[in-house]
Structures are given as C-alpha cells and as structure tokens.
A = this chain, B = another copy of it.
Amino acid sequence: MNKGRMEAFSDGVLAIIITIMVLEIKVPHGNDFENLTPLIPVFLSYILSYIYLGIYWNNHHHMMHTVKKVSGGVLWANLHLLFWLSLIPFVTGWMGENNFAQRPMALYGFILLMSAVAYYILQLQIIKTNGEDTILSEAVGKDIKGKISPILYIIGIAFTWINTWVSGILFTLVAFMWLIPDKRIEKYTKE
C-alpha cells in the first residue's frame, strides 16, 4: 500500500481547514477602520490556529518522509488526527468572537490537547507498522517537545478558570516552541 494518497488526502484536508478558517472573519458592514476593531480577537485567534495547523502540516510532512509502509491502522489513526484538527475552525471562531472568554479558551485548549494525543497515536501506529528500529521510533523516544506540549495544554486549560492571559501565553508558547522544525528527523534523513 502506498503512502502517496494518504499524504495527498491529508494535504487536502489541512489545506481546506486552514483556508475555511478565514470564512470566520466575517466582512464588516461599515467601511471605516473602526469597523475592523471587533475583528481583532478573531484575527489573533486566526493567526494562532494558522500557526498550529502549519506546524501539524510541517511535522506530518517530516514524519511521513520516514514512513515506508502504511496499514489500515495508520490510515485510521491519520483520519482520527484530522478529525480533531477539523474542529479547530469552530473553536477558533468561538474563542475569537467571544474575545478570549474563559470557556471558549478551555475548549480551544482541549482540542489542541486531543490533536496532540491523536498525533501521538498516529506515531505509535506508524512505528507498529514500520518496526521499532526506524528513524521515527528513535526520534519519538527523544521527543521532549512532544512530551511537554500536552502537559502545557493541560496547565493552560486549568488556568482558564484562574487567568485566561496565562492560558493564552501558554498556548502561544507551545506554538512557538514547535515553530522550530524537527531538526532531529531532518538530520537523520540527511545522513
């Protein structure tokens, strides 16, 4: 079974998710810059989610590069990841339109957490199909960012009940932490 079509389908879904998010930024009625002010939180949410989806696409790209075999389990683990990512436009819109209120931020963090869990499951399925002695297996073992992220999401979710600013900073911090591409896989594949 070839991995090409799974990559193509994932690219398609990610491209659509990243693009339909922009539909949540509704065109305002007035023609003054002031009419854009209520859109600022919507726009900030859009930027954050855009970066997250960019990270997922980027890491997916790197990970798939090391994959040789694709099984039914891998296909479904991938669909499971895309399911959680497909909910990002909804939570982005809810968070943005409510100016980073407590509950929408908690749900946003929850979807980030579930996406991270789904990504981890996908890695496990790929390792199960391709064997323990692969580049990916080695990379996952040393993957500190992958282990810290869910913890930071959970702390972020908990903080929405105390101070939403801390949550926002945490969610942004994780994004920036991931912006640095996965040097390890990149290094291994070059060797």
Contacts and interface: CB of A to CB of B under 8 A. Distances in A.
Contacts of A87: 22
A81 to B, nearest CB: 12
Interface of A is mostly: helix
Interface in A29-54: 29-33, 36, 47, 50, 54
A119 interface: no
A165 interface: no
Interface of A: 1-2, 5-9, 11-20, 22-25, 27-33, 36, 47, 50, 54, 57-58, 61-62, 64-65, 72, 75-76, 79, 82-83, 86-87, 89-90, 93-94, 97-98, 101-104, 107, 179-181, 183, 186, 189
